[in-house]
Chains A and B, each alone.
Chain A
Amino acid sequence: MARRPLPQPPVRLVGGRLGLWWQLFFRFGPPRWTLYMRHNWAGKRLVIAVPYVWLLLFFLIPFIIVFKISFSEVRLAMPPYAPLWEWVSERAVDVRLNFGNYLFLLTDDLYVSAYLYSLKVAAISTLFCLLIAYPMAYGIARSSPATRNLYLMLIILPFWTSFLLRVYAWIGLLQNNGVINKVLMAIGIIDEPITMMQTDFAVFIGIVYSYLPFMILPLYSNLEKHDFTLLEAAADLGASPIKSFLRITLPLSVPGIVAGSLLVFIPAVGEYVIPSLLGSTDQLMIGRVLSDEFFANRDWPVASAVAIAMLLLLMVPIMIFQRYQARELAGAK
């Protein structure tokens, strides 16, 4: 857009010394602020600044604070951590960086095993999620446009209902005297109830169930764009359906698989509600450890160190996800 000259303020009406003020008033005053915005960067800057400042203040700075507190020592006060630096005299600052929290994480078995366990649970759940979601997304992508919308609505509908209540629903199903055990015993497959609550199995089910739409939707939006005549061509040339799937559909859908898997894996590592309701109390996931450290032990520095360690662990997957997301939005243009 070409820049146009600002309209000349009617200086002539006032003239003299007041003219300058009049001019300034027209430049910055309310009557022409939109025009001003159009010709200058100020308005644009304001529009940029509002979400920017919000996110800086409430998203980025909190992480810096967590990072800072992870280096301080716990103490009995409010807030329960020692300041990192103190003014000893007018010119000297006493900085106490305490790496003890991180050493503690590395040496105490509880934390290392909680991290490994969380990674394991998240990875296995993501895999199951993918195995269930792929045929579903494929089925939707291959159905007619009218039924497609109906299916998508059916997939998204549970997502709109409370996540907490959907996890809760599984308690009633998985309990020893729950629906699944009752049904299996009535059919005669089993004689006594299988313990499913408070096992890894229950946590897998909970995560797969809650995150399934997050896997299906990226996969669907990828599969929907596929040119299915490629498959017909492959079939005409004599490829078996399995071979053409492995050689054509699967490689083309890798971006969808990556996006869906990351959308499931990253939040699943830090999952708190599902393992609290369905999982065992013997082996804790890292989200639970963090919250216990914070609420039960009131050890804010160690909780912060746990959070920073978790962030470092998830940094690579988060960056891959962001790159994918940016490319996806650029591709939509």
Chain B
Amino acid sequence: MRLKGRHWFSKTGLWLGLAFLYVPIISMIVFSFNNSRLVTVWDAANSPTLKWYGELFANDQIMGAAWLSIRIAAMTATGAVILGTLAGLVLVRFGPFRGRALLSGMTTAPLVMPEVITGLSLLLLFVALQQLIGWPQSRDVTTITIAHITFSMAYVTIVVQSRLAGFDNSLEEAALDLGAKPGKVFFRITLPLIVPAILSGWLLAFTLSWDDVVVSQFVAGPGSTTLPMVIFSKVRLGVSPDVNALATIMVLIVATGVVVSAIWMRRQERRRAREMQMAVAANK
């Protein structure tokens, strides 16, 4: 009972913190329906309006950049999941091998590496490679994707690693002892176990790539302008209402996705619990 006082304090802190997190987002959503071009002046007579949404979809530059960003993000997420899963698997399951420390260092360093450094170093690599072997001929979608895979695979590795570390390898060992080949063991046992981690790793990598402006600015060439680069150059000049509309759409998509996945995960968990109960009952 005496502990209750501090509990109240932390609860208040929690709610204030959540307000701090959501007030800017909510204000952005509200002003996306504002008629006035001056973003902060609420034009009560003509609002709410969908005018800025119309302008957003009519803006070819933004739409083109968005499509480019989606393509890059999807490729990045897929590449990062493949490489990140392999790296996570190697780090957790393969035991000690020569150079393990370096690999583990290289997978955690990108998590905290300032983006300007990553961007600069990758651009200098591409320039050096171009001189040395003539590839990449120009800086475009390929170079952006490679750069994005490199910094986002670290996140996938961490997610996969912590999921794998949660299971002991008795199932895999059993399968191996029963004569399954390592490839089969991976696809039939390890992979299904880490599917949730792979899914969230894919989404995480997608978001990181979709969101990145600094690294892209370094490794993008003329003609490959991603959506964040367009937004960044736009909002450097001040607020613009169609960006508010864009933000609202993105928040909506993300919120739906998160809620749906939460419901799905809860359902999965319930199903698993039920199956466990049934298995226990059947064994009695």
Report A's interface with B, CB cutoff 8 A. 1, 34-35, 37-38, 43-44, 47-48, 50-52, 54-63, 65-66, 69, 79, 132-136, 138-140, 142-143, 149, 151, 153-158, 160-166, 168-173, 175, 177-179, 182, 209, 212, 216, 231-232, 235, 241, 245, 262-263, 266-267, 269-273, 276-277, 287, 290-291, 294, 300, 303-304, 307, 310-311, 314, 317-318, 321-322, 325-326, 329-330, 332-333
**Majority secondary structure, B binding face:** helix
CA distance A135 to B15 in the complex (A): 10
Shortest Cβ distance from residue A125 to the other chain B in the assembled complex, whole angstroms: 14
CA distance A69 to B97 in the complex (A): 33
**Majority secondary structure, A binding face:** helix
List 25 A–B pairs whose Cβ atoms lie within 8 Å, in order of A's numbering.
A34-B181, A50-B86, A51-B86, A52-B90, A55-B150, A58-B146, A58-B150, A59-B110, A62-B121, A66-B117, A138-B13, A139-B14, A149-B262, A161-B251, A164-B228, A165-B231, A168-B243, A179-B40, A212-B17, A267-B113, A277-B236, A287-B116, A307-B121, A318-B109, A329-B92
Q: Report if A51-B210 is in contact (Cβ < 8 Å); known contacts: A165-B231, A270-B115, A311-B117.
A: no
Q: Give the interface residue-count category, chain B.
A: 35 or more
Extra contacts, 18 of them, besides A164-B232, A166-B24, A325-B111 (Cβ < 8 A), are A35-B181, A69-B124, A136-B14, A153-B258, A162-B210, A164-B211, A168-B28, A169-B28, A173-B24, A179-B40, A235-B3, A241-B2, A266-B113, A267-B114, A269-B114, A270-B115, A276-B236, A287-B114
CA distance A44 to B97 in the complex (A): 10
- Contacting residue for B21 out of A138, A168, A209, CB 8 A: A209
Task: Determine whether the beta carbon of B112 is less than 8 Å from that of A235.
Answer: no
Going nearest first, the 4 A-B pairs with the smallest beta carbon separation are A270-B114, A135-B13, A139-B14, A62-B121
The digit string for B1-38, where 1 denotes a CB below 8 A from any CB of A, is: 01101110111111001101111110110010000001
Task: Determine whether the beta carbon of B124 is less than 8 Å from that of A177.
Answer: no
Chain A residue nearest to B210 in the complex (CB): A162
Shortest Cβ distance from residue B234 to the other chain A in the assembled complex, whole angstroms: 9
- Contacting residue for B20 out of A209, A317, A322, CB 8 A: A209
Chain A residue nearest to B259 in the complex (CB): A153
Task: Determine whether the beta carbon of A37 is less than 8 Å from that of B183.
Answer: yes
**Residue B166 CB within 8 A of the other chain:** yes
Which residues in window 227-245 of B have CB below 8 A to A?
Answer: 228, 231-232, 235-236, 238-239, 243-244
Chain A residue nearest to B95 in the complex (CB): A44
- Contacting residue for A79 out of B10, B108, B127, B232, CB 8 A: B127
CA distance A269 to B112 in the complex (A): 10
